[in-house]
Amino acid sequence: MTLRTRISDALKQAMRDKAAERLSTLRLINAAIKDKDIASRATGSDDGASEAEVLAILGKMAKQRMESARAYEEGGRLDLAERERQEITVIEEFLPRQLDDAEVEAAVEAAIAEVGASSIRDMGKVIGLLKTKYTGRMDFGAVGPKVKNRLG
């Protein structure tokens, strides 16, 4: 079952269950995917967003909500922070399991070996390979410095 199908089924179920907050988050996800579909059509591709692009959209949405929740907490708006966390929970249902630190380290080592990276100049190749294999499964903001330290 594709990710789009899972999201669509969850949306329908949320409507049946009258789960307003869950439904709202699922509609936001659907809208983001449709925006990506429209953008890809504008570039000449009729396929729409690929599975990897949908995973990237979901990862970005989760990250945005984490940052928002942190900002709300710092501002003393715990009610809004909790709302953001609820949205994160819904979004993460569709993301693959995140790799733990040991798995990230192993993936970085394997990517460096596969690319044959020897200097910091090869960092883009390593990150590119990791993104093709692990989109949505690791935080590339945290992986970048690890790759840099390993190569530098």
- Domain segments of the chain: what residues? 3-92, 101-151
Long-range contacts of range 29-38, CB-CB < 8 Å, 24 or more positions apart?
29/57, 29/58, 29/61, 29/90, 29/91, 29/94, 32/57, 32/61, 33/4, 33/7, 33/57
Architecture in CATH of 3-92: Orthogonal Bundle (1.10)
CATH 1.10.10.410 is the classification of domain 101-151: yes
pTM recorded for the entire structure = 0.73
pLDDT value of position 64: 94
**Residue ranges in the chain whose pLDDT is less than 70:** 45-46
pLDDT value of position 33: 93
